Amino acid sequence: MSGRHEKDKGVNVQVLLRCRPFSEDELRSNAPQVVTCNDYQREVAVSQNIAGKHIDRVFTFDKVFGPLAQQKDLYEQAVVPIVNEVLEGFNCTIFAYGQTGTGKTYTMEGECKRSKSGPNGELPSEAGVIPRAVQQIFDTLESQNAEYSVKVTFLELYNEEITDLLAPEEISRIALEEKQKKQLPLMEDGKGGVLVRGLEEEIVASATEIFTLLERGSAKRRTAETLLNKQSSRSHSLFSITIHIKEATPEGEELIKCGKLNLVDLAGSENISRSGAREGRAREAGEINKSLLTLGRVINALVEHLGHIPYRDSKLTRLLRDSLGGRTKTCIIATVSPAVHCLEETLSTLDYAHRAKNIKNKPEVNQKMMKSTLIKDLYGEIERLKAEVYATREKNGVYIPKERYYQEESERKAMADQIEQMGVLIETHQKQSEEWRERHEAQVRQCSDLSSKLSATEKNLNQTIKLLTCTEEELTKCRYENALAHQACVLRSDLEKALQDNASLFQKIGREDKLSSDNRSVVNNFRGQLSQQIVSLCNLVSTSISQQNEHLQCVQELGHSFLDVHHKSIKELKKKLSASRAVYVSHIEAMQNVVRLHKASSIAGLEEISSLASSSTQSIKDYLESEAGQAASIFDDLQSSLSTHQGEVALFAREMRQRFLVSSEKRKEVSEYMNGFLDKILEQCKSLENHAVHADAIQMKNINDFQEAYEEQSKSNAEKLVADINNLVSNHLQRQKELVDARLVDLRETATGNKAFLDVHVTSMESVSTDAKRKWQEFSMQADDDAKDIADYSAAKHCRLESLLQQCVSNAGSAFEHWQKTHDSVNKMGKNHVSELELLTRNVSESIEQHDAEVDSARVTAEQDVAKNSEDILKRIDSVSDVERGSVSKILDAVKAHANVLETFREDHSGKSAAIEDRAQETFEQRYMDYESTGTTPVRSEPDVPSKGTIESLRAMPMENLLEEFRENNSYESMEVKELKPSLIPRSPLAQLNQQ
């Protein structure tokens, strides 16, 4: 697939198609399917009948993923090779293109953020391209045991404005809107690419971190969405993974391989057509879709091989320029929905994607960087950032973090302290330089010792060389090469050691030379500074002296002027004192006048008061008299009305008595009449009783008469008829006789009953009348008693009223007397009052006289006191001014003395500073000496030392023999001069052998 052989021709952009399954809504609404995918043939067919017309189109792509394809399938078939390329050092880009809701985000990010990774690091099945790619990268790099770094960026492009989705949360939330205003700018990176300035690069250490980042990005996208009314369907998001892998070349150079994977979730493709439709909503719509439109135009231009490709027209195409017709490997995943209502968009997506297939890129591996270049680049980056910080600071004046400000503040303080300390240090340095000079001299001496030693060593060396020549001659004669060779080895090592010593000695000499020249310059500097400081000190002293002189002058002048002023002011004070004395006296007089006025007015007031009091007493008297007349008349009225009352009451009692007598007469009459009436009733009752007895007797006699008459008649009738009617008539007669008898009995009984009834009634009548008579008598007796009682009561009441009236009259008389007494006492009080008032007035006027006398005397004493006091004050002022004059003249004397002292001080100081300067000059010019070269120091040389091999080649004899022979021929004494160990100094002519 990578097709390296086609490199020159270019590689087509790989275009995949993914069709999502029906969503639940679409399934519910039974939406017909219009897209069919044939994964194996890599074909997508769209078929639909519209208004009887059958549309049937087939598109072929590099890969086709139908609704059944899982995230894993897509990834393994399409993305794994791309990620491998990235790991090989290519830059690769994957675009997700399609209508909103067709699964772009699902494909790129997946829906697994919340679930996180499964057990043992497995990704959830819903994970999209981004997490899987990161996982693959880490897996591969870990298995290669490579040293690597993985960085990711995540940005959003909305309305031609770039937002960092990984920017730290707290900044982004608070200043989100502000941040929206100052967007991250795009900058040329100087290598033909662009970069986003200020974009947060997050280093990822493990694959699981990617979920946190994705979640963070999405969360930020969501907040931005709600805050700014964005729609995610209108924004593009770009997730970039940059990998640096360390590689070692066979030569041991360290190289850095770099690969980058861009994963782009584009805005919904429907936005292209819509923006075209709504031209009215110019800017917003235009800006939002500018990137998408420009992407389309860029693809067009690339496919049709137009000369100008409008990369620069939008930020998206600028950012991803290299992915479109550049050196990047590019893959486009077009997503579509199978449902009919998306048909139009689906067709346009398919067209778009099909067209993009023709874009050719020329992928190139990123050049591997040397580690050092990378570091250099990083330094460049640091410089750039520094410059940026500087620029930012310039814009708003000083702009540094608070902590740094405090830190610098404290550093500044520390520096001030340091400066002080340095002043102290200078002194110690002065001392130190003295020491150094001494040390330097010692070192110079040491140096000359060392060079003499060195020349001795060199002499020794020459000797050794000569000895070596001799030894060699001896060796050629003798056949003890082995022993000699060994000795030569030893000798060689000695020689090397000596040479090293020699070299180190030379180095030491060099160092010392340097040290002494450094010391010289230090001393020179110090001398210059010292003389400068002395001069400045002198200047300081002289200016201070002149200042002090000026001060003294001033003090003197001030003393004089003070005296003048004082004199004047004392004169004025005296004048003011006498003036104030006069004023005081005049004031006292004025006060006395006021007192007099006051006195006159108070006397007048008192007189007025007393006259008022007498007049008021008079008026009270008059008033009381007039009132007394009135009161007497009122009392008279009262008395007369009381006596009329008395008369009336007596009259009333008399009348009452008469009426009472009349009424009791009338009552007597009534009672007599009543008694007569009752007696008559009793008489009537008796006559009725008699009548009843008489009537009863008559009735009885009548009945008996009738009975006798009837019996006689019946006897005659019976005798006549007895004969006729014997039986019948006798019966009948019998019966008739019985009937008449019965009838007569009844009549008798009735008469007796009547009589009894009448008797009863008469008796009851009698009893009732007697009762009534008795009762009436009782009543009349009672009434008589009552009348008597009432008469007694009214007589008593009359008496009481009489007495009360008498009391009233006597009360009125006493009240009148009391009134007259009151009147008299009031009159008396008024008189007393007036007399007291007069007394008081007299007293007051006397006390006023007394006051007047006191005021006079006080005035005289006050005047005397004032005169005395002002005299005293004047005396005191004179004495004080004498004292002041004396002290001022003392001050002036002191000033003169001080000026003299200053003069002597100045002379002393200039003498001393001159002495210091002379001393310094003498020290530095005459006493302090530099080392002067004698020219005898030998020059450094590099003598050749024989190699071990050549010596070894001479080895032939056993060691012991050689050693014995050597020791026989060589005594130790001859090597006294050298410091080397005698046993190591051979005497053989090997040097010559080596040189051959």
Query: Under 8 Å CB-to-CB from 8, ≥6 apart: which residues?
Result: 362
**101 is known to lie in a ligand binding site:** yes
Cα–Cα distance for residue pair 209/241, rounded to 1 Å: 13
Residue 938, token pair as written in the block:
């030998």
| Closest distance to Mg ion from the beta carbon of 223 (Å) | 16
Partner whose footprint covers residue 111, from ligand ADP, Mg ion, none (CB < 5 to 8 Å by kind): ligand ADP
| Closest distance to ligand ADP from the beta carbon of 102 (Å) | 5
Partner whose footprint covers residue 533, from Mg ion, ligand ADP, none (CB < 5 to 8 Å by kind): none
Query: Under 8 Å CB-to-CB from 588, ≥6 apart: which residues?
Result: 859, 862, 863
| Interaction between residue 105 and Mg ion (CB under 5 A) | yes
User: Footprint of Mg ion on residues 678-707 (CB under 5 A)?
Assistant: none
Partner whose footprint covers residue 559, from Mg ion, ligand ADP, none (CB < 5 to 8 Å by kind): none
The three-state (H, E, C) secondary structure of 57-95, written as one string: EEEECCEEECCCCCHHHHHHHHHHHHHHHHHCCCEEEEE
CB of 104 or CB of 230, closer to ligand ADP: 104
Partner whose footprint covers residue 103, from ligand ADP, Mg ion, none (CB < 5 to 8 Å by kind): ligand ADP
CB of 102 or CB of 460, closer to ligand ADP: 102
Residue with tokens 């990617």: 210
Partner whose footprint covers residue 198, from Mg ion, ligand ADP, none (CB < 5 to 8 Å by kind): none
**476 is known to lie in a ligand binding site:** no
| Closest distance to ligand ADP from the beta carbon of 233 (Å) | 6
Q: Are 823 and 623 in contact (CB under 8 A)?
A: no
CB of 19 or CB of 207, closer to ligand ADP: 19
Partner whose footprint covers residue 784, from Mg ion, ligand ADP, none (CB < 5 to 8 Å by kind): none
CB of 37 or CB of 245, closer to ligand ADP: 37
Residue nearest Mg ion by beta-carbon distance? 105
Query: Under 8 Å CB-to-CB from 473, ≥6 apart: which residues?
Result: 989
CB of 104 or CB of 113, closer to ligand ADP: 104
**249 is known to lie in a ligand binding site:** no
Partner whose footprint covers residue 759, from ligand ADP, Mg ion, none (CB < 5 to 8 Å by kind): none
**397 is known to lie in a ligand binding site:** no
CB of 104 or CB of 329, closer to ligand ADP: 104
Q: Are 140 and 87 in contact (CB under 8 A)?
A: yes
**763 is known to lie in a ligand binding site:** no
| Closest distance to Mg ion from the beta carbon of 303 (Å) | 26
Query: 57: closest CA among 347, 340, 273?
Result: 347
Residue with tokens 């700018």: 185
Phi–psi pair at 19, nearest 5 degrees: -110, 125
- Piece in contact with Mg ion (CB under 5 A), picked from 33-41, 101-109, 565-573, 802-810: 101-109
Partner whose footprint covers residue 128, from Mg ion, ligand ADP, none (CB < 5 to 8 Å by kind): none
Cα–Cα distance for residue pair 470/484, rounded to 1 Å: 12
Phi–psi pair at 507, nearest 5 degrees: -60, -40
Q: Angle CA(450)–CA(453)–CA(457) in degrees, nearest 5? A: 135
| Closest distance to Mg ion from the beta carbon of 269 (Å) | 11
- Piece in contact with Mg ion (CB under 5 A), picked from 62-70, 97-105, 385-393, 441-449: 97-105
| Closest distance to ligand ADP from the beta carbon of 41 (Å) | 20
CB of 222 or CB of 459, closer to Mg ion: 222
**937 is known to lie in a ligand binding site:** no
Phi–psi pair at 266, nearest 5 degrees: -75, 165
Q: Are strands 202-204 and 360-361 parallel, antiparallel or unpaired?
A: unpaired
User: How many chain residues touch Mg ion (CB under 5 A)?
Assistant: 2
Residue 251, token pair as written in the block:
């030569």
Partner whose footprint covers residue 830, from ligand ADP, Mg ion, none (CB < 5 to 8 Å by kind): none
Q: Are 649 and 798 in contact (CB under 8 A)?
A: yes
Residue type, 758: L
Partner whose footprint covers residue 113, from ligand ADP, Mg ion, none (CB < 5 to 8 Å by kind): none
Partner whose footprint covers residue 102, from Mg ion, ligand ADP, none (CB < 5 to 8 Å by kind): ligand ADP
End-to-end CA distance of the chain: give it in Å, rounded.
69
Cα–Cα distance for residue pair 484/166, rounded to 1 Å: 79
| Closest distance to Mg ion from the beta carbon of 96 (Å) | 8
SS3 118: coil
| Interaction between residue 271 and Mg ion (CB under 5 A) | no
Cα–Cα distance for residue pair 465/941, rounded to 1 Å: 15
| Element containing residue 47 per DSSP (H, E) | strand 43-50
Residue nearest ligand ADP by beta-carbon distance? 103
Partner whose footprint covers residue 21, from Mg ion, ligand ADP, none (CB < 5 to 8 Å by kind): ligand ADP
CB of 20 or CB of 906, closer to ligand ADP: 20
| Interaction between residue 91 and Mg ion (CB under 5 A) | no
CB of 220 or CB of 492, closer to Mg ion: 220
CB of 165 or CB of 895, closer to Mg ion: 165
| Closest distance to ligand ADP from the beta carbon of 178 (Å) | 28
Residue 717, token pair as written in the block:
């009738």
| Closest distance to ligand ADP from the beta carbon of 270 (Å) | 9
CB of 71 or CB of 330, closer to ligand ADP: 71
Q: Are 186 and 318 in contact (CB under 8 A)?
A: yes
| Closest distance to ligand ADP from the beta carbon of 346 (Å) | 13
Residue type, 213: L
Q: Are 888 and 563 in contact (CB under 8 A)?
A: yes
CB of 127 or CB of 954, closer to ligand ADP: 127
| Closest distance to Mg ion from the beta carbon of 101 (Å) | 8
Query: Under 8 Å CB-to-CB from 43, ≥6 apart: which residues?
Result: 37, 58, 59, 60, 61, 64
| Closest distance to ligand ADP from the beta carbon of 105 (Å) | 4
DSSP 8-state assignment for residue 927:
I
Q: Are 525 and 429 in contact (CB under 8 A)?
A: no
Where does residue 70 rank: exposed (0-12), middle (13-18), buried (19+ CB within 10 A)? exposed
- Piece in contact with Mg ion (CB under 5 A), picked from 100-108, 285-293, 453-461, 496-504: 100-108
**190 is known to lie in a ligand binding site:** no
- What is the chain's length? 996
Cα–Cα distance for residue pair 680/660, rounded to 1 Å: 31
- Piece in contact with Mg ion (CB under 5 A), picked from 105-113, 442-450, 874-882, 985-993: 105-113
Residue 264, token pair as written in the block:
């782009």
| Closest distance to ligand ADP from the beta carbon of 311 (Å) | 25
**98 is known to lie in a ligand binding site:** yes
Q: Are 173 and 263 in contact (CB under 8 A)?
A: no
CB of 72 or CB of 828, closer to ligand ADP: 72
CB of 149 or CB of 231, closer to ligand ADP: 231
DSSP 8-state assignment for residue 39:
T
| Closest distance to ligand ADP from the beta carbon of 284 (Å) | 20
| Cα→Cα distances 87→138, 150, 242, 390, 809, Å | 10, 11, 10, 37, 149
Q: Which residues bind ligand ADP (CB under 6 A)?
A: 20-21, 23, 100-106, 111, 268
Q: Are 124 and 277 in contact (CB under 8 A)?
A: no
Binding residues, as ranges, are 98-105
Q: Residues marked as binding for ATP? A: 98-105
Binding-site ranges for Mg ion (CB under 5 A): 104-105
